[in-house]
Structure 1
């Protein structure tokens, strides 16, 4: 597709086509929007002391003419004599969020109970491609991800059928870049409050179905659910990005099932998909790493082929 065309499709029209409909008119929980300077609430450590099962190490890698870095959380058992195989989760924080900060707050190790290799790549000046404020050119960060997977697969027992990309805000846009440019790199994906700027889905590689859960809160004042203009660039709505990814997953976006999945969320799932595809419309979570639905658990479920919520 030469250029992503944000389609002005009425959500009410889609609602009229639901094959499984429950009430989609949710009352806001009234929860305050979390401060945008600290958008990710800390995830409480699991009772099984996951931190004792995981070793953190900073690594560098040469990608083209640049030296890039990433933070790696590796299960200690993966370095043992009989390690078995471990899924790999690539976690991308939002604009200006450091890998160490995102590792502290994401809860991904706790959700996996120390049974996954989790890597936090560092964007150039902690920003990711396709955004107007990025310091990397198109394809540069995707190549970085490709090299990380190659290196870790050589060094550790990575399960090549369970590689996942997870992203928040600008990091969600980075997940979109992977799904467009090299979807075969990953086997599952999740975005939370994803920032999908115009051009994210232009010039894409041949579609390769990837299971994905997308979540976005309606009271997000940083990356608006309805899109608009941000940093002087068009920003697609959550629905429009969902439709684009769903189309690449072979879904019928004209027939969408809706289901209440909690006190503050409705999940939308199109029919006929080649891979499980969903958008969860959340109320009252602002621009955060959501507590409800609990996004680390959603990620772990998607990676393991289970219902996302």
Structure 2
């Protein structure tokens, strides 16, 4: 502190000498620095403001090419208070490496907790939506998310559908907005019990569940960082009136799908969007170089089509000749995680 005050005094003395050599304004006065005992942000700000007023007066009187410095006192960087530490609402309801069921607002969701879960850090979340006329338990089994890299690295939740369907589909039993409200409540409820990373929440789903993954990207883009639809049923409402927020979008789809054709069609008397239409809409939404794509093989029977220059990834994985299914070769669970796990809000 002694060195700091000496440096300031030396500069002030130099300024006085400069004033004596030129005709400075009569009302120019040096700021009182005797009260500064430590270079706190406020003290430094006040002293610099006073000094700068004098410096401007001196510099206006000095010959061109000469000047005294401004902001002579270094200002410490502001210290931001640390974010409040996450605290659980109670004991962990489902233990590490186990599956169970929780509920919120009278509606249940299955949960799987990784073996390595540690509440000292925030964990990503994968929301997994079952297909039409399917159960959360059945989807949990055949999707093999728990057995994949997803189950190792993320908490997985399988929300229960009303009437075994999801909003956005003509088969939905829920009211518009009802499933969206439930998913939002589910994420908040999950965060009461587990330390989740709000910047790394993802969704996937099969068929109509893939459509609900698209609903998540469209109407809950403030929550979800990325989604992956598998043999998705993309009826128009799942991609209409979306939030203008980039979200990673992956579509795994067979080119021989007879239920939801790769290029779109009509089902249950209602048109649905094809993968190319969904791909194109996310190209625009994610700021990609529209129409500039790259292609690469995936396994022995699929091709990855990727948009370029995007703020968030946009990909369609075409499984050649395949029908309406969830794939193990390529493993959609591992493949989607290899892409989505690197994406943050």
Residues 163, 174 of structure 2: 8 Å contact kept: no
Provide the TM-score with structure 2 as the length reference: 0.68
CA contact (8 A) 2:217 2:226 kept: no
Give the structure-1-normalised TM-score.
0.75
Size of the alignment, in residue pairs? 248
The secondary structure found in structure 1 opposite 2:113 is strand
Match of 2:213?
A: 175
Misfit runs of 4+, over 6 Å? none
Q: Superposition pairs for residues 135-150 of structure 1, below 5 Å? A: 135-150=173-188
Distance 2:250 2:183 in 1: 20
Q: Does 1:120 align with 2:158?
A: yes
Given candidates 213, 223, 226, the residue that maps to 2:250 is 213
SS in 1 for 2:261: coil
Deviation of the 1:161 alpha carbon = 2.1
Deviation per residue, 1:257-303 (Å, 9 max, x gap):
22223321111112221111111111143211112221110122123
Residue in 1 aligned with 2:332?
A: 295
Q: List gaps (5 residues or longer) in structure 2.
A: 1-94
Mark the runs of 5 or more structure 1 residues left unpaired by the alignment. Answer: 1-51
The alpha carbon displacement at 1:77 in A equals 4.6
- Aligned residue among 237, 241, 266 for 1:203: 241
Structure 2 CA distance for aligned equivalents of residues 148 and 302 of structure 1: 24
Superposition deviation, residue 76 in structure 1: 5.2
CA 1:265–1:77 in 2, change beyond 3 Å: closer, same or farther?
closer
Partner of 2:140: 103
Higher Cα Rg, which structure? 2
The structure where strand makes up a greater share of residues is 1
Equivalent-residue separation in structure 1 for 2:257 and 2:97 (angstroms): 33
Which residue of 303, 309, 315 maps to 1:266? 303
136-145 vs 117-126, which moves further: 136-145
Shift of 1:305: 1.6
Aligned ranges 1:157-168 → 2 under 5 Å: 157-168=195-206
Find the partner of 2:109 among 58, 70, 77.
70
1:254 and 1:200 map into 2 onto residues whose CA distance is 23
Whether 1:94 aligns to 2:131 is yes
Q: 1:83 deviation in Å?
A: 4.7
Q: Any idea what the Cα deviations from partners look like across 1:113-142, whole Å, max 9, x if unmatched?
A: 533210000110110001001011222211
SS of equivalent to 1:58: strand
Task: Please report how far the alpha carbon of residue 75 of structure 1 lies from its aligned counterpart in structure 2 after TM superposition.
Answer: 2.9
**1:191 maps onto 2:229 in alignment:** yes
Could you say if the C-alpha distance between residues 212 and 202 of structure 1 is closer, same or farther in structure 2, counting changes exceeding 3 Å? closer
Please name the residue that 1:56 is paired with.
Answer: 99
